[in-house]
């Protein structure tokens, strides 16, 4: 669940939860094809703040954000993300090398700070447990708590692909939204899920404040659909067309005004 929208919400959202080419990669496709429907709620809101669909097809992940309308394509083989803005017909690219370097620098900076809450951001430590009543995974710390309702992944490959996409997408947030803080905490949760061959059904996040009785909460919901529909394949094909015809621009220009 990470998306390039609403900077005031994105830090909460992803704690929870190109042109690569006109055609798909040559050679045999790796991985499995499936879709994940995502919703993110902030606080006690009953209406989702963020709604998206992620289609895994032919070894590439296509993430479709509803508002603002944006598509993020992750192609590990080509080591890049491509961001597409359909209303403006623009595209830009961010390399995974750039994303990795930025997050490394942020981690080094955070762990060097005196404030323990900042050091936690760079090197989070959780007490991991299983709720015996609900089966939820719980990751607890003085600063952040995750409670994850899980289900068994339908295959080992789906668990791996989903974890890999989430890991990279959450790291992309540091590039899209300077000041994003929860990258390394969520990476720990992602690793634990794959280790258990599980995927999240719901993720509940609590960010604890230094002030008494104050906290920020959010939750995400995820529905895994094992088989793609023709409409999913059509959506991917249309995205390939967008990647071929949209105007390429520098990242800074792309970020200036993302249309809702």
* Interval 165-192: pLDDT, tens: 999 999 998 888 876 677 899 999 999 9
Stretch 16-37: mean pLDDT, rounded? 55
Question: What local confidence, expressed as pLDDT, does residue 213 receive?
Answer: 64
For residue 257, pLDDT over 60 is answered with yes
For residue 4, pLDDT over 60 is answered with no
Question: What local confidence, expressed as pLDDT, does residue 85 receive?
Answer: 96
Query: The pTM is what?
Result: 0.84
- Domains along the sequence of the chain with CATH: 7-255 (2.50.20.10)
Question: What local confidence, expressed as pLDDT, does residue 2 receive?
Answer: 44
Residue pair 144/217 in contact by the 8 Å Cβ criterion: no
Quote the percentage of the chain above a pLDDT of 70. Answer: 85
Question: What local confidence, expressed as pLDDT, does residue 179 receive?
Answer: 67
pLDDT confidence bin for 54, thresholds 50/70/90 = very high
Q: Please give the sequence-ordered ranges of beta strands (E in DSSP) within the chain, or none if there are none.
A: 34-42, 50-57, 60-65, 70-75, 80-85, 90-95, 127-130, 137-140, 144-152, 198-208, 215-225, 247-248
Q: What is the pLDDT of residues 84-109, one digit of tens each?
A: 999 999 999 999 999 999 999 999 99
For residue 25, pLDDT over 50 is answered with no
For residue 15, pLDDT over 90 is answered with no
Calpha distance 199→194 (Å, rounded): 7
When the pLDDT of each residue in the chain is averaged and rounded to a whole number, the result is 86
CB count, 10 Å around CB of 259?
12
């Amino acid at each position: 669940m990470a998306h390039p929208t609403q900077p005031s919400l994105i830090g909460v959202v992803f704690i929870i939860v190109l042109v690569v080419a006109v055609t798909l990669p040559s050679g045999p496709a790796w991985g499995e094809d499936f879709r994940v429907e995502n919703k993110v709620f902030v606080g006690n809101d009953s209406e989702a703040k963020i709604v998206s669909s992620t289609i895994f097809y032919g070894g590439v992940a296509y993430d479709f954000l509803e508002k603002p309308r944006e598509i993020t394509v992750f192609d590990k083989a080509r080591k890049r993300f491509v961001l597409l803005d359909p209303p403006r017909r623009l595209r830009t690219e961010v390399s995974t090398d750039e994303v990795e370097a930025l997050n490394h620098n942020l981690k080094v900076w955070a762990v060097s700070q005196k404030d323990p809450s900042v050091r936690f951001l760079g090197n989070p430590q959780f007490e991991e447990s299983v709720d015996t009543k609900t089966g939820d995974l719980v990751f607890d710390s003085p600063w952040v708590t995750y409670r994850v309702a899980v289900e068994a992944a339908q295959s080992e490959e789906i668990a791996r692909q989903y974890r890999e996409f989430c890991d990279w997408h959450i790291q992309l947030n540091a590039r899209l939204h300077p000041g994003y803080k929860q990258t390394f905490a969520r990476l720990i949760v992602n690793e634990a899920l794959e280790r258990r061959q599980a995927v999240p059904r719901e993720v509940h996040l609590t960010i604890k404040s230094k002030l008494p009785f104050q906290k920020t909460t959010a939750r995400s919901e995820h529905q895994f659909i094992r088989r793609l529909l023709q409409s999913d394949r059509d959506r991917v094909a249309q995205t390939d067309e967008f990647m071929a015809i949209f105007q390429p621009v520098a990242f800074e220009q792309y970020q200036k005004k993302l249309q809702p």
